[in-house]
């Protein structure tokens, strides 16, 4: 499966999650200031890694049917 960019703006790139996102993904999923307002529980590093793997697996299983889903983003340098 290729690393497909979904769309870009001048400041962001929206794309599928990758394994290399694990540290940044945990920074979000393990942060109570981010998760409490959603409201979802914060995740441990292991839980975060498992959730990221689940999302990546979702793309793999649904590659041809994928029209919408959960995506990662990257803030471009200014």
Give me the pLDDT at residue 37, please.
87
pTM of the model: 0.72
Please write the tens of the pLDDT for every residue from 25-78.
999 999 999 988 888 899 999 999 999 998 888 776 665 555 555 666 666 775
Report in angstroms the alpha-carbon separations of 31 from 35, 37, 38, 48, 66.
Answer: 6, 11, 12, 11, 29
The predicted structure's pLDDT at residue 1: 47
Predicted pLDDT of residue 44: 97
Tens of pLDDT, residue by residue over 7-18, are 888 888 888 888
Written as six digits, the tokens of 10 are 């001048």
Q: Round the CA-based radius of gyration of the chain to a whole number and report it.
A: 13
């Amino acid at each position: 499966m290729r690393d497909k960019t979904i769309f870009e703006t001048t400041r962001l790139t929206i794309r599928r999650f990758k394994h290399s996102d694990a540290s940044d993904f945990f920074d979000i999923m393990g942060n109570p200031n981010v998760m409490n307002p959603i409201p979802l529980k914060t995740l441990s590093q292991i839980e975060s890694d498992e959730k990221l793997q689940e999302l990546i697996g979702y793309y793999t299983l649904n590659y041809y049917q994928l029209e919408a889903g959960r995506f990662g983003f990257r803030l471009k340098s200014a």
